[in-house]
């Protein structure tokens, strides 16, 4: 890369993302960048060398680096977990995923070309909060303890415990995700799996400490700890969430039966679900959650471990986000 406007751009793509639509999107974006004479270097992820590895390499220097990611929420999660030097990293997103909850939360809309031009015309970016999840213990899929050592993972949108995380596990394992992505209706997989799983998922007792206040829930369905408003393909669980306010918003669903699920969740698409008993919206800067048994946890829809003890906070460094 020779260097041009702002030293050019690094384009990071998962070529297998969104059923191959990321490649289609890149074809359109590449043509426009070539027409404009913008210098760029392309980085394609693979199983052996993923987005997290690429981001780690690109952001390890002390010089400014401009990155455009073409992908969805999962790719952005890998990207934020790979950033080494937040101060000198400027990251823009051209959304091309199945859910695109980050784009929806931030109001990023329009065509890929529209998104590209907003990024190219934004030289300073806006500072976004990045959430940090700390596992205090980790269990595998069979409930076997792996470690009691603290382990952290960053997230852009949300981290969920319980039912919504269990949905993510099933979605990742489902062959229908690729099929629906290829048909450009990938977000429907979350609705299908969620409707099925509500008949199988068990409630559990949980204690939550938010800053200096403690709460106990005896029949918890899920907790969503949100940095943005939307998760799960368009559910507006925390409509007041602000990614620039230095705190996290929490949606707690407790004591809900199966009938309640089908009655309430349509309202969650609009962000008016807190009118129902069992839905609690809160916010805070430091959150600790203790469950009576190991349960699944997701970060931006990505699953690694089960746990019975986690903490959340906003990391001190901000992400310089271009094109918003």
Angle at 64 between CA 63 and CA 70, to 5 degrees: 135
Q: What is the pLDDT of residue 4?
A: 40
Is the CB of residue 153 less than 8 Å from the CB of residue 304? yes
pLDDT tops 90 at residue 185: no
Question: CB within 8 A of 15, min separation 6: which ones?
Answer: 22, 23, 44, 45
pLDDT tops 50 at residue 70: yes
Helix (H, G, I), strand (E, B) or coil at 249: strand
| 308 closest CA partner among 77, 172, 200, 146 | 146
- Domain spans of the chain? 9-123, 131-315
Angle at 214 between CA 209 and CA 219, to 5 degrees: 90
Q: Positive or negative, the Cα torsion across 52, 239, 248, 62?
A: positive
Find how far residue 202's CA is from the centre of its chain: 24
pTM greater than the 0.85 cutoff: yes
Tell me what percent of the chain is helix, strand and coil, each rounded to the nearest 5.
30, 35, 35
Q: What is the pLDDT of residue 187?
A: 63
Q: Tokens standing for 55? A: 């981001």
Question: CB within 8 A of 29, min separation 6: which ones?
Answer: 11, 68, 70, 94, 112, 113, 116
CA distance 39 to 24: 20
Q: How far is CA 215 from CA 70, 137, 206, 218, in A?
A: 40, 21, 8, 10
Q: What is the pLDDT of residue 315?
A: 97
Tens digit of pLDDT for each residue in 129-178? 999 999 999 999 999 999 999 999 999 999 999 988 888 887 776 666 66
Q: What is the pLDDT of residue 174?
A: 67
Could you tell me the pLDDT band of residue 1, with boundaries at 50, 70 and 90? very low
Q: Positive or negative, the Cα torsion across 68, 71, 72, 73?
A: negative
Q: Which residue has the higher pLDDT, 259 or 13?
A: 13
Phi-psi region of 302 (alpha: psi -120 to 50; beta: other; left: phi over 0): beta
Question: If one looks up domain 9-123 in CATH, what number appears?
Answer: 3.40.50.10330
Q: How far is CA 61 from CA 54, 86, 88, 119, in A?
A: 13, 11, 8, 22
CATH class in words for 131-315: mainly beta
Percentage of residues in the chain with pLDDT exceeding 70? 90
Q: Tokens standing for 14? A: 């998962």
Backbone angles phi, psi at 179, to 5 degrees: -65, -50
Tens digit of pLDDT for each residue in 286-321? 999 999 999 999 999 899 999 999 999 999 999 999
Q: What is the pLDDT of residue 7?
A: 67
Beta strand spans in 83-212 (E): 89-95, 126-128, 131-135, 138-139, 145-147, 151-155, 158-162, 204-210
């Amino acid at each position: 890369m020779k260097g041009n406007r702002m030293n050019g751009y690094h384009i990071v793509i998962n070529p297998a993302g969104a059923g191959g639509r990321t490649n289609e999107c890149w074809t359109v974006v590449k043509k426009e960048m070539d027409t404009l004479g913008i210098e760029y270097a392309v980085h394609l992820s693979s199983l052996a060398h993923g987005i997290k590895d690429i981001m780690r390499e690109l952001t390890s220097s002390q010089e400014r680096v401009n990155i455009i990611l073409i992908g969805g929420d999962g790719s952005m999660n890998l990207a934020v977990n790979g950033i080494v030097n937040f101060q000198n990293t400027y990251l823009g997103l051209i959304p091309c995923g199945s859910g695109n909850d980050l784009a929806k939360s931030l109001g990023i809309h329009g065509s890929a070309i529209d998104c590209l031009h907003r990024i190219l015309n934004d030289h300073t970016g806006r500072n976004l909060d990045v959430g940090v999840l700390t596992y205090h213990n980790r269990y595998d899929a069979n409930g076997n303890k792996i470690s009691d050592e603290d382990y952290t993972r960053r997230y852009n949108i949300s981290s969920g415990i319980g039912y919504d995380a269990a949905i993510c596990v099933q979605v990742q394992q489902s062959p229908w995700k690729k099929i629906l992505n290829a048909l450009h209706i990938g977000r429907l997989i979350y609705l299908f799996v969620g409707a099925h799983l509500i008949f199988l998922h068990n409630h559990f007792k949980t204690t939550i400490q938010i800053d200096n206040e403690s709460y106990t829930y005896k029949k918890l369905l899920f907790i969503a700890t949100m940095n943005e408003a939307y998760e799960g393909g368009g559910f507006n669980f925390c409509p007041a969430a602000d990614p620039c306010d230095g705190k996290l918003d929490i949606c707690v669903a407790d004591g809900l039966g199966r009938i309640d699920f089908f009655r309430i969740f349509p309202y969650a698409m609009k962000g008016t679900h807190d009118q129902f008993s069992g839905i609690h919206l809160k916010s805070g800067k430091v959150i600790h959650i203790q469950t009576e048994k190991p349960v699944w946890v997701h970060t931006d829809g990505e699953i690694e471990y089960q746990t019975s003890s986690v903490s959340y906070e906003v990391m001190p460094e901000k992400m310089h986000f271009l094109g918003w």
